[in-house]
Each structure stands twice: as C-alpha cells, then as structure tokens.
Chain A
Amino acid sequence: MTVPTNAPANAIVTASNVSQVYEVRRGLFAKPLGLKAVKDASFSVEEGETLAIVGESGCGKSTLARMLTMIETPAEGALTIDGVTITGDNPGDVRKLRSTVQIVFQNPYGALNPRQKVGSIIEEPLKINTKLSSAERRQKAERALAEVGLRPEHYGRYPHMFSGGQRQRIAIARAIILEPKILVLDEPVSALDVSIQAQILNLLADLQERLGLTYIFISHDLSVVKHVATRVMVMYLGRPVEIAPVAALYAAPLHPYTRALLSATPATDPKSKGQRIRLTGELPSPISPPPGCSFNPRCPYANDRCRTERPELTQHGPTRVACFAVEEGRIDGAGSAAA
C-alpha cells in the first residue's frame, strides 16, 4: 500500500485544504453565522481504489460529496479531479468533469423522478452531456440496464414499479452511463435491507472490476466499509482525523474517536461482548466548535494541550492521524478495537 502524500503520481482526486462554509441565518437583522461544514480537508484518492469516508451525521461527509461532484465549489482550498483544478474563484472546466464524476445518493426513493420513465431517467445525462441520437441513447441505456442486472423491458416502466434495491440499480445505471472514472457513493446501501444491501454491494464490486472505477464510498456503517474499502478516512466535525488502509484501521485504530466508533458498532456475535468505549455527550455544534482538538470534550485522553492547540495529520506507520495523545505516546500506538 502506497502512503498517500499530498500528490501521489496515480492520484485521480487530490484535495488540499478544502473547506466549505454555509451561512446560517439567525434573524432578519442579525449577521448570518458561518458554519464550517468541512475544514481543511486534505486527502487523495488513487485510481481504481475505494476510499471510504466515515463519520457520524454532521461530520461533513455529504458536504465533501457535494464538492467532489461539483454541486458546490469549495469555499477555500483546491480540489484537483482528473487533472483539472477547481477552486472557489476558478470553477475550472466543470463541464468536462461532470461526465468524469457521477454520484449515487442514499435514498433511491427520492433520487428518481416518479413522473419519468426509467429509460428517460437513465438517458438524461446523455441528453445533457452528449450529442447522441435518441436511438443511440436508447441502445446505451439498455446496455446500462443490463450492466446493473435489470432487463431491457424495464426501460419503459416507472420508478414506483420497482423495489428499493432495483431503484438503487436504476440510480447506479444512471451514474455509469456517461462512463465516469469516479463514482461518489453517498450511503448507497443504508436505506436497504441486509439481503438487498448484499446484492448492491456485489454489483458495485463487479462494476468496479469491469469498468475500472474509482469509488468514494461515504457511509456511517463500519461493517460495510470494512468490506468494500481500500482506505478509510474518518471525519469528525468537518475534519479528517484519521486516514488509514482498511486493514490497519480495523486492526489498530489510532484516533480515540475511531476507537470509540469501532467499539460502538454492534458486533453480530453474541459471544463477543467486548468492553465498549462509552462516548459521553454528543457532537458539538459546528457553529461554535470547541477550541483545540474538536474531539476534546468527548475524549477520555484529552489534556490541556488538546484543549488549546489543534493537532494536524501526522504519519504513524501506514496511518495518518490527527491526535496529540497518539503523537505523544500517551495512548498505545496499536490500539485494540473492541472485538
């Protein structure tokens, strides 16, 4: 596993100090507050890999997805996707990138227009981005349907005639029809039942192999992430706190938040009632984040330095982690996840 630096040769996505700010209105005359949903995120994604972005609600993972898919431009920092650099001032050649990066959303019930037939849902990206004739579009759409395990006769049906798993297949067909290099998967299976989830995960694995796709897989479910990811980025309150290859992260999570997250995930084994790390409290408000390390109010290892200074990501073996306690050796380097 190569160690990610700021710009490895085969990186298809490079983010350097990307931030996103939303304005929160408080009232008619009050000055709006700036909510930093993502702060100084720097990471890279290599071609063909699956980078999982993990964190609880409000950690900025979906904001990151919106920036990666150019729904929004970053407020600060730069994002380089497939050789094109996007910054807040210079949105770059977004048009070309739209067919390079595609997205699959969490809720397959909300992501498909109920008044459109499946065929026109899948063809819409072609209509907008290419000059293909309608016959060519139809041919491509039918091929995409076959690719995701649906039948050509589904072309003329409406989304309500499909189950959740099939709708997610339609959403995936729409995402791959422009032959993108990168697929952003924003919680693609969390709305699905376990047995359907397995079908979709298998489909995604097949597509990645066949089409050589790069995945950015956003999820809060650590057991799914363990199964699909090559590398994992754990986010807390808008900042990446740990980036590690998947094996290293699950064998020896370093950041106290990662450890807590892993131990809070219920294990499907009644015999392994491991010692749970109990996190007290909740995610602080991103409008007024705590000074120092943003995890310090909930961290069992926090000391005065954690409460005043902010840790940066530093290299520890294969892992990059932002934690003073790890840096100073106050907690053991090879943290054991609760089994």
Chain B
Amino acid sequence: MPLLSLRNLSVTFDTASGPFKAVDGVDVTVEPGEVLGIVGESGSGKSVAMLGLMGLLPPSATVTADEIAFEGRDLRAMSGRERRKIIGSEIAMIFQEPMSSLNPCFTVGFQIKEALKAHTGLDRKARQARAVELMRAVGIPEPERRLSAFPHQMSGGMSQRVMIAMATACNPKLLIADEPTTALDVTIQAQILDLLLDLQKDHGMAMILITHDMGVIAETAERVVVQYAGQQVERQKVATLFDHPHHPYTAALLAAIPERATQRRLPTIPGVVPGQGDRPDGCLFNPRCPKADDRCRTVVPPRQPASLGEALCHYPLDPPASFTRPTSVSAAR
C-alpha cells in the first residue's frame, strides 16, 4: 500500500476575474521511504498542490480530488480534528523561507516544543529533552543554549535546521519539503540536502521535494514529476529523465540549463507560462512547443504509458521502435 495516494487533485482559486485552476488533476503516489521530486517553474502549481493536501490554502481555494489517502485512510472523509492529528505529526512540511516561517516573537525552543505539545503526550521535562535531541540531530551546535535563541539571532541555514527539527519532531512518515534550499547559499544548500537525506534514510521517512532546480532533483530524488501550468506533464525515474525526457517541455527545460549548454547561445523556450486569461485549448504547452501542430492546438493530449515517461503529449519524444504515432485525430479518440 502506498504511503500517500492522491488521485485527480485539483485546486481552483476564486479570483476577482473568475475561477483560476492552479492545479489541474495531479496524481501523486509516494511509497514509504522514497524521495519524490516535483519540479516546475513558478506558476506550475507545484507548491499549491501540496499546500492543498496540508489544508494550508486560503478559503478562496477549492480543493477537489477523487482520492486523498494516507496509509489507506481517506483524508477527505475525516473530520478536521482527526485530520489535524495526522497533519503536522505524520505528514510534516518545511518551506522555502526559513526566516519568515518562524515566529519572530518566540524562542526557537518554544516553537519546537509547541509541536511536541500538540502532537505528543510528553511532559515538560521530556519535551525539553526531546527538543535538545532534535536540535542535535539537525546539527545545531550547543543545542541547550540555542533553544533560547530567537529566530533573528540565527542565520538562514540555522533557521532551516530549526524548521527541520520542528517538522521531524514527531517522526513523520512523510516530509514535504517546499524549496527547502532555494533561499540558501550553495555550501549551506549542500549541508541541508545532506541532512534531509540522512534523516530520510535513518528514519525510513518518505519525502516529497519540491524545487525548480534540476540539479537538486538530480542529486536527491528517485522519481520525478515535471509540472507545467498545473498539470503533470511527465513522470519518470530520475536516472532516465535527464538522458531521455519524453515531454517536449522537459526536454526544453533541460536544454535551457547553462551547465548543459554546448554553445554560447542557450536554447530557450519562447513565450511564458500561460496564466489565468490565456490558457490555450488542447495541450497547454502548445503555444511554446516547437513540435505543436493543429492536433496539439485542439485536442487535449492523452497520458502516454510508463515507457514514455507518462508524458502528457500527443507526440512524445524518444519513442521506442514499437511506438506508432497516431495518424489522425479521430484514430486516437
């Protein structure tokens, strides 16, 4: 049984100019102990989908799904009280801006112990001991003294360690890390990624890593989901994604990374991610896709099989020899 199973999750925001679908039918399955990467540009809905799962979206958002199951328990059918027992203790989340995720008015010790108080039956003394243990586990020197420090007295890397200590306080089975290292310097980023992977291995914790950095994905994740304009356009193993992207968007995204460039001019993706007002018909990527034809502009593309990276595309790249392209619109319908 998968640890987490989301099927056809959509998030719609009510805006002044009408409803806006930020997440459009995503499926996420996470097995116990695995690292799933979700990659995409800003506006691709990668964070919003996970915030929807955690119930952290504002009231203007409507979350719909065919299934939201954690260890087989249906989160949709639960009362808020029951759900809050799982969220924060068995599913935990850390965010991009460690500095603004911590409350500046309270010491970090208070904030870590608050999580313990809410989710465990430990008494004061035991909470103190556990907080020290957590601070040590995330590599903060002099944990006893640091517990009484305020967030402004800590650097970005240290704050993110505190956030990780807080998130792992109840030994979660799933940690959702939303751009955990984007605000940090590279050497600190390497430290935090190592720490997350160590925790994941030691506790058999599963992790969903949301990022826009293909390098971070390559170094940490096992499976990766590529998201574009709220849709999952490709789902693949990391080991094969970088050499054999099947969706033109993935291929273009990889080609645009300077590190992989072969010449001075970088290959670019023309245009921008479609917003609320300019969502195209058919495939959402068609206005920017070099391979788009009339079919892409009118017909919503099908989900390809796993051998083609489950690409959401009429004409996936790099098909095996046995794959025959559909010849006409009617044949595929």
For residue B44, which residue of chain A has the nearest CB? A193
Q: Smallest distance from the beta carbon of A238 to chain B beta carbons, Å?
A: 15
B25-33, B257-265, B299-307 - the one binding chain A: B257-265
Q: Smallest distance from the beta carbon of B41 to chain A beta carbons, Å?
A: 4
Q: Confirm or deny: B45 has a beta carbon within 8 angstroms of a beta carbon on chain A.
A: no
- Inter-chain contact B258/A201, CB cutoff 8 Å: yes
- Inter-chain contact A195/B256, CB cutoff 8 Å: yes
Q: Mark A218-256, 1 if CB is under 8 A from B, else 0.
A: 001011101110000000000000000000000000000
Contacting A at CB under 8 A, from B228-249, are 238-239, 241-242
With a cutoff of 8 Å between Cβ atoms, the chain A residues found around residue B268 in the complex are 195, 198-199, 202
- Inter-chain contact B258/A198, CB cutoff 8 Å: yes
Q: Mark B124-160, 1 if CB is under 8 A from A, else 0.
A: 0000000000000000000000000000000101100
Contacting B at CB under 8 A, from A274-295, are 276, 278-280, 282-283
A76-84, A114-122, A130-138, A264-272 - the one binding chain B: A264-272
With a cutoff of 8 Å between Cβ atoms, the chain B residues found around residue A113 in the complex are none
- Inter-chain contact A273/B219, CB cutoff 8 Å: yes
Q: How far is the CA of A14 from the CA of B333 in the complex (A)?
A: 67
- Inter-chain contact B218/A195, CB cutoff 8 Å: no
- Inter-chain contact A202/B212, CB cutoff 8 Å: no
Which residue of A165, A202, A266 is within 8 Å of B216 (Cβ)?
A266
Given contacts A165-B272, A268-B242, contact A278 B194 (CB under 8 A): yes
For residue B41, which residue of chain A has the nearest CB? A193
- Inter-chain contact A261/B41, CB cutoff 8 Å: no
Q: Smallest distance from the beta carbon of A99 to chain B beta carbons, Å?
A: 28
- Inter-chain contact B264/A279, CB cutoff 8 Å: no
With a cutoff of 8 Å between Cβ atoms, the chain B residues found around residue A273 in the complex are 219
Contacting A at CB under 8 A, from B176-230, are 185-191, 193-194, 212-216, 218-219
- Inter-chain contact B215/A56, CB cutoff 8 Å: no
Q: Confirm or deny: B317 has a beta carbon within 8 angstroms of a beta carbon on chain A.
A: no
- Inter-chain contact A198/B256, CB cutoff 8 Å: yes
For residue A272, which residue of chain B has the nearest CB? B218
Q: Confirm or deny: B254 has a beta carbon within 8 angstroms of a beta carbon on chain A.
A: yes
Q: Smallest distance from the beta carbon of B185 to chain A beta carbons, Å?
A: 4
Which residue of A196, A266, A270, A282 is within 8 Å of B213 (Cβ)?
A266
Given contacts A223-B215, A269-B218, contact A201 B186 (CB under 8 A): no
- Inter-chain contact B190/A282, CB cutoff 8 Å: no
Given contacts A165-B272, A195-B268, contact A270 B261 (CB under 8 A): no
Q: Smallest distance from the beta carbon of B46 to chain A beta carbons, Å?
A: 12
Q: Confirm or deny: A57 has a beta carbon within 8 angstroms of a beta carbon on chain B.
A: yes
Given contacts A201-B258, A201-B266, A268-B257, contact A56 B242 (CB under 8 A): no
Given contacts A227-B266, A278-B194, contact A195 B252 (CB under 8 A): yes
Q: Confirm or deny: A194 has a beta carbon within 8 angstroms of a beta carbon on chain B.
A: yes
Which residue of B189, B212, B258 is within 8 Å of A226 (Cβ)?
B258
- Inter-chain contact A205/B190, CB cutoff 8 Å: no
Q: Confirm or deny: B267 has a beta carbon within 8 angstroms of a beta carbon on chain A.
A: yes
For residue B288, which residue of chain A has the nearest CB? A195
- Inter-chain contact A270/B256, CB cutoff 8 Å: no
Which residue of A163, A226, A264 is within 8 Å of B187 (Cβ)?
A264
For residue A199, which residue of chain B has the nearest CB? B268
- Inter-chain contact B239/A194, CB cutoff 8 Å: no
Q: Confirm or deny: A100 has a beta carbon within 8 angstroms of a beta carbon on chain B.
A: no
Q: Confirm or deny: B253 has a beta carbon within 8 angstroms of a beta carbon on chain A.
A: yes
- Inter-chain contact A196/B215, CB cutoff 8 Å: no
Name B's A-contacting residues (CB within 8 A): 41-42, 155, 157-158, 185-191, 193-194, 212-216, 218-219, 238-239, 241-242, 252-254, 256-261, 264-269, 272
In the complex, 8 of the A-B residue pairs with CB atoms within 8 angstroms, ordered by the A residue number, are A194-B253, A195-B256, A223-B257, A228-B258, A266-B189, A266-B218, A267-B215, A278-B191
Name A's B-contacting residues (CB within 8 A): 56-57, 163, 165, 193-199, 201-202, 205, 220, 222-224, 226-228, 260-261, 263-271, 273, 276, 278-280, 282-283
Please give me the 10 A-B residue pairs with the lowest Cβ-Cβ distance, nearest first. Answer: A266-B215, A227-B258, A223-B259, A56-B185, A264-B190, A198-B256, A198-B266, A193-B41, A195-B269, A198-B268
Extra contacts besides A223-B215, A266-B219 (16): CB < 8 Å: A194-B214, A194-B256, A197-B256, A202-B266, A223-B259, A227-B259, A227-B264, A227-B266, A228-B258, A264-B186, A266-B216, A268-B215, A270-B218, A270-B239, A270-B241, A282-B158
